[in-house]
Amino acid sequence: MAPIPEPFPPAVPQSSPSLPPKVPDTSYPIEVRKKLGIYGLTPPNVENHALQSQRCLKQLASKTTPIEKYIYLSNLRNTNTHLFYRLVLENFTTIAPLIYTPVVGEACLKWSEIYQRPEGLYVSYKDRGSIIDVLRNWPQPNVEITVVTDGSRILGLGDLGINGMGIPVGKLALYTGCAGIRPESTLPLTLDLGTNNELLLKDPLYMGAKMRKVSEKEEIEFLDELMVALNTVWPGIVVQFEDFKNPFPALEKYQHKYTCFNDDIQGTGAVILGGIINALKSTDIPIKDHRAVFMGAGSAGVGVAKQIVEYFIKEGLTEDEARRCFWFVDTKGLITNDRGDKLAQHKIYFSRDDNKGQQFKTLPEIVEHVKPTILMGLSTMRGIFDKSILQKMAKLNERPIVFPLSNPSSNAECTFEEAMKHTDGKAIFASGSPFPPYLHDGQVMQPSQGNNMYVFPGIGLGAILCKAVHITQEMIYTSAVALSTAINTNEINAGRLYPELDRIREVSVIVAREVIREAQQQGLDREKSIRNLSDSELDAFIRSRMYDPRKDTGLHQTEPSNTRSTSSKIRVPGSPSKL
Ligand SMILES: NC(=O)C1=CN([C@@H]2O[C@H](COP(=O)(O)OP(=O)(O)OC[C@H]3O[C@@H](n4cnc5c(N)ncnc54)[C@H](O)[C@@H]3O)[C@@H](O)[C@H]2O)C=CC1
Ligand SMILES: CC(=O)C(=O)O
Ligand SMILES: [Mg+2]
């Protein structure tokens, strides 16, 4: 008989330090169970993965509400990580909305009610001066990537304080699901810097500090310490900033100093540019004649428009011509130079000077004035693209481009059904959260989902694998172009703007490859050994570094590693395991 292997527990309990190290798994052979000392702790049968998944799907189906499904999946992730990720990979389209938008929105709203375990690391304002000590309490030694939020703008749901933890948890689950970053290399991180949400401040169950949000200056001083501490404990860690109410100062300050990016500004910008490149191909309008109305002038809106400006410039427009293709709307109406209020810094670039003293307050007025070809929603305003606006878009355009991108679904500017109904099926559509297909004129119309999940996993994976010094604007732009090329003919013929979600791992390989190439071009790659690989060799390298829960059953020992370790830590799939 072959020697009994040294098994590794199936789920590295990345967010549950208290879990016993030996998790009974019904797929473990009898000898392994005996060796682990868990024989008898599971029912006797040795099951294959298909059977395990079948049971999970049955249990999932038995939960009647989305939040119950979320809690079920969260428990599974924490008790049998490999099984959870197998389920995610094999049923991505069904499961992504349950662990990410829209259901993660509900989970964040109820976080302090549904709380069962930490899920990630919480660092509080009172920890300043000793943030590093809190980070050192994290039980996983080889963290390569973190998603960090202060909870101040969670999706379109506003300031949720530490209840925002669902977002880092959900985004990092997608890093593993979509890009194969090992679960134990990820750190969900939530900063408790206070909250201005009155309901939470009064809620006895709220688990964050009952204090108002600290000032911008105090926040940035806190972040300064955090960034140093993160890079001391895990040198070169990739940091993704997520759902900060005002994310601009941190991005400006850290992007040339650390390996970091802001997903809402840059990831969203890239994913929407990728979709717009494909959408523009479906209209016969020359780029210079496009007019885009952006409902919502926050981090996402401005991030998206800036990426598109860059594309328009590369397509031959001057910067001024490109910038003038955009009209931004905020709570006060069309953003103009002479509106009479002091514009936030990030709004100035796109403010209009050609309104001849006229101020336009409402969307119908603005649509009438601009006659847009493109309508973008990043406003959090459910239903603001109403019947009359959509009808107007259809009247103005053969193929109106309508992107209601606010999350979760309950905040979408319009639904897919509304867009199809009121434009008579003409709209070129992408939404931030998923919508079901719609039967229009006997034809099943497929919505596209313009969500940053198409790029952030590949950006992070690329940055980790080439050990990027920084994540530059060029790398972000490249990820958008890479995404636009990842779509195949069948998907284009089906009217999609993005690849089907069940191909997300392939997409992440393409995005990661191009991000690595750009880093190499800019001399920002520290991993020189992959410089001379051809594209196909690089793709093979990337794939070989992706955690695959279908092959990795936990019954192997991961190699020890230290800093920037994905490459050394991940077992090459197909290589002999210790089993
Ligand atoms: N599809 C995707 O991948 C992404 C979607 N988003 C979504 O975009 C939305 C906005 O996110 P951020 O820009 O980061 O938030 P933000 O808070 O920075 O900006 C929101 C903007 O909407 C405007 N706004 C709010 N109410 C309005 C009203 N009644 N009329 C006109 N404008 C109004 C505000 O003035 C502000 O300019 C959120 O719902 C978020 O979930 C954000 C990132 C990625
Ligand atoms: C998707 C995302 O990042 C957001 O809605 O904020
Ligand atoms: Mg976000």
Q: What digits encode the pLDDT tens for the residues 338-367?
A: 999 999 999 999 999 999 999 999 999 999
pLDDT at residue 22 in the model = 66
Q: Which of 20-34, 156-170, 218-232, 450-464 has the lowest mean pLDDT?
A: 20-34
424 and 411 inside one domain? yes
Q: Ligand 1 in contact with 377 (CB < 6 A)?
A: no
175 and 254 inside one domain? yes
pLDDT at residue 550 in the model = 87
Residue 420's pLDDT band (cuts 50, 70, 90): very high
pLDDT at residue 564 is higher than 90: no
In 3D space, the residue among 44, 471, 420, 550 whose CA is nearest the CA of residue 239 turns out to be 471
3-state secondary structure of 499: coil
pLDDT at residue 164 is higher than 70: yes
Judge whether 502 lies within some domain.
yes
Summarised one tens digit per residue, pLDDT across range 530-544 is: 999 999 999 999 999
**Cα–Cα distance for residue pair 10/136, rounded to 1 Å:** 24
Span 458-476, average pLDDT: 98
pLDDT at residue 193 is higher than 60: yes
259 and 166 inside one domain? yes
pLDDT at residue 7 in the model = 35
Q: Using the atom order of ligand 2, give the atom closest to the CA of residue 263.
A: 3
Q: Residue 355 belongs to a domain with what CATH number? A: 3.40.50.720
In this structure, the residue with its CA closest to atom 5 of ligand 2 is 155
Provide ipTM, 2 decimals. 0.99
Which ligand has the minimum distance to the alpha carbon of residue 100?
Answer: 2
Would you say 261 and 252 are in contact if contact means Cβ atoms under 8 Å apart? no
Q: Is 264 annotated as a binding residue?
A: yes
pLDDT at residue 3 is higher than 70: no
- Cα–ligand 1 centroid distance for 338 (angstroms): 23
pLDDT at residue 256 is higher than 50: yes
Q: Ligand 2 in contact with 518 (CB < 6 A)?
A: no
Q: Which of 2-6, 18-22, 469-473 has the lowest mean pLDDT?
A: 2-6
Which ligand has the minimum distance to the alpha carbon of residue 449?
Answer: 1
Q: Ligand 1 in contact with 173 (CB < 6 A)?
A: no
Residue 551's pLDDT band (cuts 50, 70, 90): confident
Residue 2's pLDDT band (cuts 50, 70, 90): very low
Span 166-185, average pLDDT: 97
Judge whether 278 lies within some domain.
yes
Residue 211 tokens read as: 């204090």
Judge whether 192 lies within some domain.
yes
325 and 372 inside one domain? yes
301 and 368 inside one domain? yes
pLDDT at residue 23 in the model = 76
CB atoms within 10 A of CB 563: 12
Q: What is the dihedral of CA 367, 369, 373, 379, to 10 degrees?
A: -40
pLDDT at residue 395 is higher than 70: yes
Kindly tell me the number of DSSP H helices and DSSP E strands found in the chain: 25, 14
Summarised one tens digit per residue, pLDDT across range 269-288 is: 999 999 999 999 999 899 99
249 and 117 inside one domain? yes
395 and 488 inside one domain? no
Domain holding 522, by residue range, is 455-535
333 and 256 inside one domain? no
pLDDT at residue 203 is higher than 60: yes
Percent above pLDDT 90 for the chain:
90
pLDDT at residue 534 in the model = 98
Residue 562's pLDDT band (cuts 50, 70, 90): very low
Span 137-165, average pLDDT: 97
Q: Residue 186 belongs to a domain with what CATH number? A: 3.40.50.10380
333 and 429 inside one domain? yes
- Number of independent structural domains in the chain: 3
- CA angle centred on 170, ends 164 and 176, rounded to 5°: 150
pLDDT at residue 554 in the model = 62
3-state secondary structure of 190: strand
Q: Is 497 exposed, middle or buried (0-12, 13-18, 19+ CB in 10 A)?
A: buried
249 and 304 inside one domain? no
pLDDT at residue 66 in the model = 98
Average per-residue pLDDT for the chain: 92
Would you say 469 and 456 are in contact if contact means Cβ atoms under 8 Å apart? no
256 and 270 inside one domain? no
Q: Is 100 a catalytic residue?
A: yes
Helix spans in 234-362 (H): 248-254, 268-281, 299-314, 319-323, 345-348
117 and 187 inside one domain? yes
3-state secondary structure of 511: helix
pLDDT at residue 413 is higher than 50: yes
pLDDT at residue 8 in the model = 36
Residue 575 tokens read as: 């290589």
Q: Is 242 annotated as a binding residue?
A: yes
The DSSP 8-state label assigned to residue 298 in this structure reads S
